[in-house]
Amino acid sequence: MRVMVIVKANESSEKGVMPPAELFEAMGKYNEELARAGVLLAADGLHPSSRGVRVHFSGTTRTVTDGPFAETKELIAGYWLWEVRSMEEAIEWVRRCPNPHVGDSDIEIRPIFSAEEFEALMRGHFGSKA
C-alpha cells in the first residue's frame, strides 16, 4: 500500500528556522535507511506558508490569498510517499524518524487510495451507469 507521510508545520518551521546540522544529518541518514529498505518513493520539504498562496472556492468564484496562514498546526512542512505492507509498518517507520523540527512536531500517516479502491468508489457513486 502507498501512504503519504505528512510532516506538520510548527512555529519554527513556519518562521523558516533552519534545523541544526545534526538534525539535517540525522534526517539524511533516515532517508537513506528508507531507501535501503525499498520503502521510499518520493520526499520533499516545503517552504514556509509565507511563500505559499491559497485559492478559496465559493460556488463559481475563486479568491486568491497570499500566505502566511494562521493555523500553524494545520499546515504541512513536508511529505514522503512510501510503499509499505501495512499501516503498522508505516507507524514503525515513523517512530524511527528523528524529530523533524526544533520543538514539538507531528507527523501524520494517510493511506493513498489505490486504483481498485478508487474504482470501487466510482462504481458506488455512479451505480450501474459506470
Partner 1 sequence: MARDLHRTIDTVWRMESARIIGAIARRVRDVGLAEELAQDALVAALEHWPKDGIPDNPGAWLMATAKNRALDRLRQLNLHHAKQQELGADADARGDHVVPDFVDSLDDADDIGDDLLRLVFTACHPVLSREAQVALTLKLLAGMSTAEIARAFLQPEPTIAQRIVRAKRTLVSANVPFEVPRGEALQDRLAAVLEVVYLIFNEGYSATAGDDWTRPALCEEALRLARILAQLSPGTAEVLGLVALMEIQASRMHARLDAEGKPILLMAQDRGRWDQLLIGRGLAALAHAEQLGDEPGPYQLQAAIAACHARARTPEATDWDRIVALYGELMTCLPSPVVELNRAVAVSMASGPAAALLLVDGLVTDGHLARYHLLHAARGDLLARLDRHAEARTEFERAAAMTANEREKALLFERARDARSR
Question: Is residue 33 at the binding interface for partner 1, with CB under 8 A as the rule?
Answer: yes
Q: Which residue's CB is nearer to partner 1, number 42 or number 70?
A: 42
Question: Is residue 7 at the binding interface for partner 1, with CB under 8 A as the rule?
Answer: no
**Residue 62: other Cβ atoms inside 10 A:** 9
Q: Which residue's CB is nearer to partner 1, number 16 or number 38?
A: 38
Q: Which residue's CB is nearer to partner 1, number 4 or number 23?
A: 4
Instruction: Give the footprint of partner 1 on residues 51-80 (CB under 8 A).
Output: none
Which alpha helices (H) appear in the chain, and where do they start and end? 11-15, 21-36, 87-95, 115-126
76-83/40-45 β-pairing = antiparallel
Least distance from partner 1 to the Cβ atom of residue 120, Å:
11
Which positions ≥6 away from 41 have C-beta within 8 Å? Answer: 2, 80, 81, 82, 83
Residue 63, beta-bridge partner list: 56
Question: Is residue 44 at the binding interface for partner 1, with CB under 8 A as the rule?
Answer: no
Question: Is residue 89 at the binding interface for partner 1, with CB under 8 A as the rule?
Answer: yes
